[in-house]
Amino acid sequence: MKDMQNEPDTRQLPIDRVGVKALRYPIQVRDKDHATQSTIATVQLTVDLPHHFKGTHMSRFIEVLGSHGPVVHVDNIRAILEQLTKRLESDCAHLEFEFPFFLEKKAPVTGSAGLLDYTAKFQATLERGKMDFLVQVIVPVTTLCPCSKAISKAGAHNQRGDVTLAIRFRKPMWIEDMIRLVEDSASSELYSLLKRPDEKAVTERAYENPVFVEDLVRNVAVKCEADSNITWYRIEAENFESIHNHNAYALIEKH
């Protein structure tokens, strides 16, 4: 049958990334308490396309992923990238796995347990044998406004926000440790299950520890700088403001 993808292209324009995205696939990731955690990733697989190729073979991306069995493990990532560059005759391959990661958290007073989900992402690139690997986690937190606390006769406005922490490292870092690093930098962490004594404790903790988004990203950055295993980081904080119709935002990146 005629293979249109292998037809020559005369426009002399290489494509940086071409492939498949929004593919859902079972994966296993490392879990500090249970060795591994099974979850579902939204997958993106891409390669560079030389200028002389009209198109890529989309089916080969799925074949490469499927060759690692019904469940992909994080240890398969380099092999997947190597296969993509070989099967698709490319110099560079990229992979993204975005997935929910669950932690059981106990309420601070009653110890009531519930599951809380976080969004994590693995991003990897293999270019001429050299691999770059980045881990990212989005951590929901509570922040209480220092300005509101300072000027109000009673109370202060607080809000839920997201902190996105992306890192490169010398040796693998637990997702749980990344989450803890962020949660310790906020006014309070979140829980899925709180009884009244827990709610009182969380509210009072936040009130005693007010932070702006600027404080939040700086707090996380200080902890990253103190960890010699972290070689690069990007920290974003976004507060879903409770008394404004806009969000507050801050970003710090290590250059």
Q: Are 61 and 128 contained in the same domain?
A: no
Looking at the structure, do residues 45 and 124 belong to the same domain, yes or no? no
230 and 209 in a single domain? The answer is yes
Write out the residue range of the structural domain in which residue 53 sits: 1-98
Among 44, 63, 98, the domain boundary falls at 98
Cβ proximity of 23 and 66 under 8 Å:
no
Say yes or no: 77 and 142 in one domain. Answer: no
Same domain, 72 and 161: no
Task: Estimate the crossing angle of helix 175-183 against helix 213-226, to 10 degrees.
Answer: 130
Q: Average pLDDT, stretch 139-155?
A: 93
Distance separating alpha carbons of residues 147 and 254, to the nearest angstrom? 28
Regarding whether 190 and 83 lie in a shared domain, the answer is: no
CATH code assigned at 218? 3.10.270.10
Q: How many domains does the chain have?
A: 2
| Interval 35-60 mean pLDDT | 88
Q: Which pLDDT band, with edges at 50, 70 and 90, does 100 fall under? A: very high
| pLDDT at residue 234 is higher than 80 | yes
> Tell me, what's the pLDDT at 53?
73
**The pLDDT value given to residue 93:** 97
Q: Are 113 and 94 contained in the same domain? A: no
Q: Render pLDDT for 187-215 as a digit per residue (tens, 0 to 9).
A: 999 999 999 999 999 999 999 999 999 99
The predicted structure's pLDDT at residue 9: 66
Whether pLDDT at 5 is above 70: no
Q: CB 140: neighbour CB atoms within 10 A?
A: 19
Percent of the chain whose predicted confidence (pLDDT) is above 90: 85
User: Does one domain contain both 111 and 231?
Assistant: yes
Q: Where are the beta strands (DSSP E) in 32-155?
A: 35-49, 72-73, 92-106, 113-127, 130-144
How do residues 68-89 score in pLDDT, each as one tens digit? 998 999 889 999 999 999 999 8
Task: Mark whether 46 and 113 lie in a shared domain.
Answer: no
Q: Can you spell out the DSSP letters for 15-37?
A: EEEEEEEEEEEEEEEEETTTEEE
Residues 35, 77, single domain; the answer is yes
* C-alpha closest to that of 93 among 114, 124, 118: 124
Top-confidence residue, 52 or 166? 166
Give me the mean pLDDT over the 57-75 stretch.
92
Do 24 and 128 lie in a common domain?
no
Which of 70, 98, 126 is the C-terminal boundary of a domain?
98
H or E, element range at 253: strand 248-253
When pLDDT is cut at 50, 70 and 90, the band that residue 10 belongs to is low
Among the candidates 78, 98, 118, a domain finishes at 98
Kindly state whether residues 33 and 123 are assigned to the same domain: no
